Amino acid sequence: MKLKKVISSVLCVAMATALLTGCAKGEKNVTSSNGSKGDSTSSEASADDLDLSKHVTLSMYLYGSPGVKNDEILAEINRKLTEDINTSIEIKYIDWGDVSTKYPLLWASGESFDLAYASVNAPVPYYTLAKQGSLTDISGLLEKYAPTLKAAIPDSSWTAAKSGDGIFGVPSLGAGYSANGFVYNKANCKAWGIDEVTDLDSLIAYADASVAHGIYPINGNSEVSMDFYRMLVESTGNWVVAPGIAESEMFLVTEDYNNVNEIIHPAFTDEFATFVTMLDEWEAKGYWPTDILSAQTGDKEMYKNLQSSAYITHMGDWTGNFTAIHGQLENQDMDAWYFAEDNNKVMQNSPAQDMTVINTNSKYPERALMVIEKLMTDESYYRLFQYGIEGQQYEIVDGYLEKPAGFDDAVDGGGFAGWAFTNTAFKIPSRSEHPSRYEKQEEWSKNFISNPFNGFTFDSSKVTTELSAISNVNSTIGIQLMLGKTDDVAAGIEEYRSQLKKAGIDTVIEELKSQLASFTPVAE
């Protein structure tokens, strides 16, 4: 997996709307995906032979809960779908608090539905669904029923969506990039007479100046420990995160993103020892409060409360939520030093991070695919699905997305969790976002690496006991090391290593390597 320099022109595709010329639109006998009314049709043979004379209603599962105006928005979408392909959709919701339990049950139940959100990060990962036969293979349907969609999505994304010889989901057209950074205020640099933050030395200078002016550089709760851990990984050589241990705790890495088999836990490296020794020094210098392990308030909330001068997060977080975090504060000339940039390893998010899949039980996979194409490649559909009805849920002012005057979310709110249908070409910028969001996306689109583990899913069934024990070690000694909370940092490192060994870290690594032995990285 080598560094790629790509030209992001794949989105400049003609948005053809006459997909299926000559298809009849006759009698509209409503037919559900369960075949409860009318005649159920078997798999339709080709675009020319596709019978659209009967109206079909497809069901789609999305995360979240309905806004008060969702029915009205969906009615407008269905009016257009009925006119174009004699099809409509009903949306079923899995509430945010129920995702971890109801999403797996959805697939285990054998329920007949048509479309659903899927992701490599979902409670049942995309590749697992594909391998267990839950999804429809669309590789033979794309050219016939969704040619515009097929052409719009890059070949590399379709390749990442493969499992075995099939393609079992539609990746989004919203390329994102994974890069964490130290977010700071350049106005402080000017006021304190220091350089802007562009590397570790200037970060330390900023933090020292912040302490000298009576404000913590970093503040928050124990989750800050993982911010530092990601900083270590992203700023070190060719390290990138590897599967095996959840990314919410101190995870495994491959030492070289060109070789997925070089799996290690960073704790056993000199780089780790050097880094946590530095963190111990930072803690002694007062870079964060002494009670950070027991604190409840997060780092961005602390920044909003003027209790810190910086925080660490990924680019999409702080730029996308700029107004929410910084909007009520004065002199917010914000920027970030992104750790991964120094080693040219800003990583593109997996194309399988946000996907739409067709249930293997769907009686109308062709129409389902046509619906996906409409929602992703026709801008009129896209705006309805992503933003609502213009003049009611949104308006465009000077090229920016805004809420209409008098908008009340309790009365007028509506929208869907439509990440899987994102198309960057149609995205309307918002004033609530920091402009560097788009500047960085453009810059990184020309110089990034792909996740070398795209297409791989780790089966943890043989090491569940070890993973549980490792998690306990990470949540105690690991976090303490990452926040400078050990009395003797050298002794703490040795104890952490020892406890990881006892917990079975070597067993987990060997199991991961064993599974990777039959894995072929996605060819670029």
Q: Say whether pLDDT at 524 is over 60.
A: no
Domain ranges of the chain: 56-171+355-421
Q: What's the mean pLDDT in 342-351?
A: 91
- Give the model confidence (pLDDT) of 125-136 as tens digits: 999 999 999 999
Task: Give residue 401's pLDDT.
Answer: 92
> How many Cα atoms occupy the beta-carbon half-sphere of 390 within 13 Å?
11
Q: Say whether pLDDT at 15 is over 70.
A: no
Q: Say whether pLDDT at 1 is over 60.
A: no
Lowest mean pLDDT among 7-11, 108-112, 443-447, 512-516: 7-11
pLDDT band at 522 (very low <50, low <70, confident <90, very high): low
Chain mean pLDDT for the chain: 89
> How many Cα atoms occupy the beta-carbon half-sphere of 233 within 13 Å?
30
> With helix as H, strand as E and coil as C, how does 137-163 read?
CCCCCHHHHCHHHHHHCCHHHHHHCEE
For the record, the structure tokens of 39 come out as 């005649």
CATH 3.40.710.10 fits 56-171+355-421, yes or no: no
pLDDT band at 48 (very low <50, low <70, confident <90, very high): low
Phi, psi of 181, deg, nearest 5: -150, 165
The pLDDT > 90 percentage for the chain reads: 77
CB atoms within 10 A of CB 96: 11
> Global pTM?
0.78
Phi, psi of 96, deg, nearest 5: -50, -45
- Give the model confidence (pLDDT) of 304-330 as tens digits: 999 999 999 999 999 989 999 999 999
Question: 2 vs 359, which has greater pLDDT?
Answer: 359
Beta strands in 206-258 (DSSP E): 240-241, 253-256
Q: Say whether pLDDT at 45 is over 50.
A: no
Q: Say whether pLDDT at 92 is over 80.
A: yes
Task: Give residue 523's pLDDT.
Answer: 57
Q: Say whether pLDDT at 31 is over 60.
A: no
Q: Say whether pLDDT at 412 is over 70.
A: yes
Q: Say whether pLDDT at 29 is over 60.
A: no
Q: What's the mean pLDDT in 475-481?
A: 97
d(CA 141, CA 84): 19
Task: Give residue 155's pLDDT.
Answer: 87
Could you tell me if 166 and 139 are in contact, meaning their C-beta atoms sit under 8 angstroms apart? yes
Task: Give residue 349's pLDDT.
Answer: 86
pLDDT band at 12 (very low <50, low <70, confident <90, very high): very low
Distances (CA, A) of 134 to 169, 267, 453: 11, 38, 22
> With helix as H, strand as E and coil as C, how does 310-379 read?
EEEEEHHHHHHCHHHHHCCCCCCCEEEEEHHHHHCCCEECCCCCCEEEEECCCCCHHHHHHHHHHHHHCH
Lowest mean pLDDT among 173-177, 488-492, 494-498: 173-177
Distances (CA, A) of 144 to 50, 59, 205, 424: 10, 22, 60, 25
Task: Give residue 50's pLDDT.
Answer: 83
Could you tell me if 348 and 451 are in contact, meaning their C-beta atoms sit under 8 angstroms apart? yes
Q: What's the mean pLDDT in 169-189?
A: 93
Q: Say whether pLDDT at 46 is over 60.
A: no
- Give the model confidence (pLDDT) of 454-464 as tens digits: 878 888 999 99
